Amino acid sequence: MRKAIVIIPARFGSKRFPGKAIAPIAGLPLIVRVMQAAQKSKRVSDVFVATDDQRIADAIKQYGGKTFLSQKPHATGSDRAAELARTIDCDYVVDLQGDEPFLPAEIIDQVVQALDTPEVVMASACSPLKDMSDADNPNVVKVVLDKAGDALYFSRSRIPYLRADDGHATSLYRHIGIYGFRRDFLLKYASLERTPLEICESLEQLRALEHGYKIRVIIVQSEFVGIDSPEDIAKAEEILARQGK
């Protein structure tokens, strides 16, 4: 079996929510909850948090996690993950965004499984968009797929445009903040020039698409809360309270 690891890039200076990574959710820092969720995966052998901030590293160490302090600034989380991946012997790297504390470990396993297909160098995940008010929410990234399950485009805007009278209704899909890479492709990705659409949309995965690479996207049915704003912390704590945690 191929060796897979998870790297969770985390920075302190989030534009929308500074200090988000160590914001407490029912007593545990957000980044710790993301780490603990990833540790439940059956397909990964290790979980690391790659960060630019000692406060985040200290929070992870307090709960027994493994950390890596970046030696230079990075444009994206995947670039930060690549810096660490250069030093680790593995086949696959799962870049898990640090704001998905409720992501089921099974999704990590499915993304890793997608990389077992020889022609797949990068994989991600999406789920049907059930709350249509999110279609125009720029914090909810949408994705459209081709018939093979590869991404055609990701956007913070509503895609595709749905005409009410065209008789060809289709699902909208919400992108989930996880990227699986073959290690060698992650290192190649980090060497690629940043692209206009990547910068315009502030979506790192568009760099791969604009340079002509494919991203396999698995569709899952799970619904879970990501943390994009302080208001999401309250939603997360309500979920944990209902679960008795």
CATH for 70: 3.90.550.10
Q: Residue 122: beta bridge partners?
A: 181
Residue 169: predicted pLDDT: 56
Domain count, the chain: 1
Which residues of the chain fall below pLDDT 70? Answer: 164-169, 245
pLDDT at 16: 72
Got the DSSP string for 79-111?
HHHHHHHTTS--SEEEEE-TT-TT--HHHHHHH
State residue 224's pLDDT score.
Answer: 79
- How far lies 145's CA from each of 17, 149, 179, in Å? 30, 6, 16
- pLDDT value of position 168: 53
Write the CA distances from 51 to 110, 183, 189, 230, integer angstroms: 26, 19, 19, 21
Q: What is the pLDDT of residue 244?
A: 72
Burial of 50 (0-12, 13-18, 19+ CB in 10 A): buried
Per the structure, the complete domain to which residue 84 belongs is given by 4-244
The span from the CA of 57 to the CA of 70, in Å, is 11
